[in-house]
Amino acid sequence: MRRPTRDSAESYRKITRRGLIVGGGMSGLVGALALRMRYLQVEQADQFRLLADENRINIRLIPPTRGRIFDRNGMTIAENVPSYRITMVREEAGDVEDVIARLSKLVTLDPEELERARRDLERLRGDTPVTIADRVSWEDISRVAVNTPALPGITPDVGLSRRYPHGEAYAHVVGYVGPVSDRDLERIDAPDALLLIPRFQIGKIGLEAKREELLRGEAGTKRVEVNAAGRVMRELERQEGTSGKDIQISLDNALQTYAHARLSEESAAAVVIDCETGDLLACASTPSYDPNLFVRGISVANYQALLENEYRPLPNKAVQGIYPPGSTFKMVVALAALEAGELDLTETVYCPGHLEVSNRRFHCWKRAGHGNVDLHRSLRESCDVFYYDMALRVGIEKISEMARKLGVGIEHDLPLTSVAAGLAPTKEWKLINRDAEWVVGDSVNASIGQGFVLASPLQLALMSARIATGREVKPRVIKSIDGVEQPSGVGPSLGINENSLREVRKAMFAVSNDRRGTAYSSRIIEDAFRMAGKTGTSQVRNISSGERASGVRRNEDLPWRQRDHALFVDYAPFDNPKVAVAVVVEHGGGGSSVAAPIARDITLQALYGGDPPLSAYPSKDRGRIQTQQEQLRQYRPGPTGDESDRA
């Protein structure tokens, strides 16, 4: 049966439309292919001609510029300086050993560095640039550049290397960088491609390690054209990375370098805290080491010398070292007793020179005793028996609770390596960690900062700042990141009765300003800057009953490691606290004779912003102080520092 004419016409129209659509699509596709062929054959002809001559394109990472570190006033603490190096790409070099032999005729190659390079060339991808010689001179770079046609795969390069202009003064706080190790890579789940570049440096300890991601930045890339001999012909494209963020720390360079210099003859630590903001103004640990040695690659002999030094230069004693706080802990016990209602300000405790507890005699440092002692006198003259009695009344739980409230026994959140928590012990702690019941003698020992109690210099400085202000001052090391101010350490009220704090502060003032105070000889004369403080001496050995009967040996007669630790804490000015200071001298002897003078000197430097006038010191000390200031000045920057080091 024939289709109607109308149906045939409609079918014809549909077929025509479809044909036009398909034809148009095919024409568009052919046109696009033609344009692409023209682009490849005409506009990209030069590039493909080079590729046809056995050239190829490599994409290489551009390490970012590491963020710098400045002190609170803009002084440069960690910077980047140009470093010339020679790199090799294995698959472009061909015969690696032959190329190395030719290179060695032009520049001197360090055997150890060359051996590391050989290992990297074997284990890494063939297109990875490996450093053959680092920190070479400009003359070496020039000779290599002239001879590159005969050195396939070799490229003279310039990069950036870390430098610490103030050396030892900041080693424990800022730390240092070093090449990425296999151990570093094992700790990271998905390592950044940057970390796989041979000799790429990352933070190893201190702030450099704790804020590595901020400081590192992000890599850029570049496309380079390489000929058959492995020589880079030209750079085709570059995409810059993102530099690491600059960090401004809270430390004051002048005060930090002074504190480091003042402690330099001792195995010691000092911490200075701004009472208002919690900023660490100084955080010194001695002896120290030059972090630049680690950046360059410290020798085995030098590292072994650091390990074998009995003064332990590697640990940061200011935050990592924990010590029995000795009599500096007595303010904790006094406040615990006052807050618990176990101590009346008018009552006294009789000190005959010892206290019998559970058939054991606990001695006071003053063999003949202090007689009747109230709170004020107990701190001023550091009577031990008074605090033995307080411990029996209050108990260890409330004492340790007060210690933690004042910052002892807590791991404070700081971007530093191995910040110690210290120890404010409890009955449960001893049962879990020593598998033994708490006994009353443990509380008696703890009352004078001995036994299980442990604190770091950082914690002792915080304790002093919190007593001075009545607030939960928190420590801060990073002041700003790329100019953005970070939260300060201004904290809320501790919730301690102001009357209790006032009485303890008055007693601490007497320690330094009353003739019978244990730190009177280290007082500040300037009325506007008078300080309140507390001495401490912590034993590191047991004294036998026989030795007590015959006379306790003096520290200077003992081997260094058997001598007492010397401690001192203070805040100043007394009526308007600006700074709090803690000093610990390992095996230094007496806190009043060794630690207190150091703390007084550092406190005055912090308050005056430089060398104080001699009138601030007792007259008998002025000649010695003047000589000391002249000696220490050579280790510190001038009043304004070197302007070239400023941001």
Q: Please write the tens of the pLDDT for every residue from 84-131.
A: 888 888 887 888 898 999 898 898 888 888 888 888 888 877 777 888
In angstroms, the CA 180 to CA 177 distance is 9
* Helix, strand, coil percent values for the chain (each to nearest 5): 45, 20, 35
The stretches in the chain having pLDDT less than 70 are: 1-15, 40, 42-56, 58, 190, 198, 226-233, 541-553, 636-647
User: Phi and psi dihedrals of 586, rounded to 5?
Assistant: -65, 130
CB count within 10 Å of CB 92 equals 23
pTM, entire model: 0.84
In angstroms, the CA 323 to CA 503 distance is 27
DSSP string for residues in 118-132: HHHHHHS-TTSEEEE
**Does 573 sit behind a cis peptide bond, omega within 30 degrees of 0 on the bond before it?**
yes
Q: Evaluate whether 58-247 and 253-303+311-645 have a shared fold.
A: no
Are the beta carbons of 566 and 589 closer than 8 angstroms? yes
In angstroms, the CA 430 to CA 358 distance is 19
Q: Superfamily assignment of 253-303+311-645 in CATH?
A: DD-peptidase/beta-lactamase superfamily (3.40.710.10)
The tokens of 340 are what?
């618990």
**Class of CATH domain 58-247:** alpha beta
CB count within 10 Å of CB 553 equals 13
Q: What H or E segment, with its residue span, contains residue 46?
A: helix 45-52
The tokens of 549 are what?
């009967």
In angstroms, the CA 288 to CA 548 distance is 37
Q: Counting beta carbons within 10 angstroms of the beta carbon of residue 493, is it exposed (0 to 12), middle (13 to 18) or buried (19 or more)?
A: exposed
Q: How far is CA 195 from CA 161, 192, 198, 221, in A?
A: 15, 6, 8, 15
DSSP 595: I
pLDDT at residue 132 in the model = 87
DSSP 486: P
Domain ranges of the chain: 58-247, 253-303+311-645
Axis-axis angle for helices 498-513, 330-339 (nearest 10): 150
327 tagged catalytic = yes
In angstroms, the CA 320 to CA 318 distance is 6
pLDDT at residue 238 in the model = 80
pLDDT at residue 80 in the model = 93
Are the beta carbons of 200 and 180 closer than 8 angstroms? yes
pLDDT at residue 387 in the model = 97
Nearest residue to 127 (alpha-carbon basis) of 153, 104, 161, 157: 153
Are the beta carbons of 407 and 198 closer than 8 angstroms? no
The tokens of 642 are what?
């070197």
User: Phi and psi dihedrals of 511, rounded to 5?
Assistant: -55, -40
Task: Give tens-digit pLDDT for 224-238.
Answer: 776 665 556 677 778
User: Which member of 327, 447, 512, 538 is catalytic?
Assistant: 327
Are the beta carbons of 67 and 245 closer than 8 angstroms? yes
DSSP 197: S
